[in-house]
Structure formats: structure tokens, C-alpha cells
Structure 1
């Protein structure tokens, strides 16, 4: 009886070590990455009613103002649909909200490229730029609405 309890304890201990190592590997994926963000002009506080991911009415699906359109490289042909991102404005004293609060958004749409404009002036969703197009409401949680484009950090 005692030997079987020791074996069970050893198995549990081994499982916890394995679980801890998996959490460390997952945490490494949580590093902040640099990108940019803009906002889409909207009337109801959400980016769109329906996005390119095909979730239907985003208000009914409870995404609402926390949906986001991703640039070509981040959208990755739709493979990131449904992914959640934490976004915060950084490195811009005039545009970022004091204290660098973050907002959690869900990828529900594609931000189409505009190859007629450079990536530094209007072609923000052009490949290979990493860019998020937020609703006005989500944008206002991290930056002042006067801003056109802001530097951000994000993580999944």
C-alpha cells in the first residue's frame, strides 16, 4: 500500500514538473512585440457589424467594441481569427493615455492593404507591417482620439 502511494506521489510530482515546464514555454510566447494601431471611424462603438472571420453580428457575439482588424501579416489568411491580443500604447507622450493601460481585443476582421500608399503614410496594413485597426472606443482606452497612428506593444 505504501509503495503504491509513493508511486502515485512520484507520478504527481513528475506531472507537476512537466506542467511547469510547459507553462514556462507558453510564457515565452507572451513577450511584448512592437506594432502600430489606428482606429476606424464607427458610429456604435464597434469596428464593424460583421468581420472577415465570419462570426456574424459581432454585437450579438459579444465582441462589440473589442473586435480588431489585423494587417496582412498578422491576419495570416484568417488563421488568427478569434485570437485575443492585449494591446497598450507606448513611447508617445502626446498620444498615449497616462499609465499605459491596456485593452484586450479579439481578431475578427482583416485590415486590407493599400499599396497605393507607403507603409509610413496611410498604407499601415501593407505587408509586412504589423498593425491593428481598433474601434474608436477601444482606441480611446489606450490613446487620445486626436492621434492618427500610435506605436503599440501587443501580446497574445
Structure 2
């Protein structure tokens, strides 16, 4: 496992409500000001999938504690999500931990924290002979991937490109080969996953750590 020296940049965000009076106190050390709303129903079915491409959030281990992030936090495309707003558009079950259904927009304080996951990083395969699409999920640490390479049993190492969200692609003929992936997160840590078995899904025994 190769580790490069870079600052941590954790992607799981802990959100707390400001005082009920509406007064937003000055940021404590490590905390920043933002705002939050919610969308979708109480079962979070309307927020399933999302821009990260995880699909069924229960199966991939993320559940309903999710939020769409504004441009300033890593995504978003307008309105409350315009920069420089730090805004969370949360799934309703997550929202109800910090606000009430009729609450509208609430001020929050937030900070980035490490993603803690059970088990190893998961690879879900798609595509066909000359197009491999891989969803990489259950990622601990920063929880966010910035680069991936792949090596087949009969090929050299080659970079993959981001298709969308957490899905990465290769246009090489890799079907039927045991694959080795090198995955680098946004904190700069690289983990090599050897002999990922071809098939619909594979859970490794390796995980990112700090």
C-alpha cells in the first residue's frame, strides 16, 4: 500500500443545528457555517441513487443519511446551491435528526469527519467486452476517489477515467480476466486491490485507513 503526503479531506459531513432562537454562533474550532433543507419522502425513495451513482443506497451501505451538496461543498447547480453558499439538501430521514418537517431552511454548523466503513472496498462490475464500468463503493477515510488504474491478467497497468459519480470506466478488452485495481482517494492514499474476481460484485478485504 502506497501513501502520499497530502492534507486530509474527509467527505462525510456531520451537521448540527444552530440554536433554536435562530442565532448562529461564531464558528467553533473546526466548524463552519452553512444551511440545510430536505427533499424527497420519508422513505428516501426519491433520493435513491443520486449524482454519486451508488444506486440502491441500502445495498451499498450508505442508507438514508445522505445529502446533495452545494457547489462550495463539492456539487450542485443553482439556487441554494450557488456559490458561495455551503448548503446541504438532505434526504428527509436525515433532515429529521436536525429539524422538523415544516422547518424549511435552517442554519447549521458543520465539519468534515472521516468515513468509517465495515468491511473492505466494494467493486460492482458492469459493461461488456471492450467497455468495463466499475462502481467503487464502501470507501473509508475521505470516502472520495480521485484516480483509478486497472491491470488485467494479460495486460499492463492502464488508467481508468471517471464515467460519472463513483463509476469508473476502461475501454480495454478486460472481460473474463482477474483484475488488479489501484485506487487513490482525495487524501492522496493509494491502495492496490489484487485479483478482483470478474463478476457482478466483489468485496475486497482491504480498506483505506489513516
Structure number with the higher strand fraction is: 2
TM-score, with normalisation over the residues of structure 1? 0.49
Higher-Rg structure is 1
TM-score, with normalisation over the residues of structure 2? 0.37
Structure number with the higher helix fraction is: 1
Q: Which structure is higher in RCO with an 8 Å CA cutoff and minimum separation 6?
A: 1
